[in-house]
Amino acid sequence: QRPDESEREGWEYASLFGWKFHLKQRKTDSFRRRRWRCRMEPLEKTGPAAIFSLECSL
């Protein structure tokens, strides 16, 4: 596995529990965690929200 592949998978490393995590693995690291980054995006691109299509409907 290439180093850039593990970065894309989202792993972070730290030497001791409670220490600041970093992206590059070092020989002294004992802990690893998965960094999850979620982006909320619509499944399909739709037009403007329905509220905007109510023009002059009062």
Give the pLDDT score at 21.
92
- Domain spans of the chain, in order of start: 1-37
* pLDDT score at 37: 73
The string of pLDDT tens digits covering residues 8-48 is 678 999 998 888 999 999 999 999 998 777 777 777 776 66
Please check the confidence at residue 7 and state whether its pLDDT lies above 90: no
pLDDT at residue number 4 = 54
- Dmax (CA) for the chain in angstroms is 68
pLDDT of residue 9: 76
- State pTM to two decimals: 0.48
Burial class (CB in 10 A: 0-12, 13-18, 19+), 37: exposed
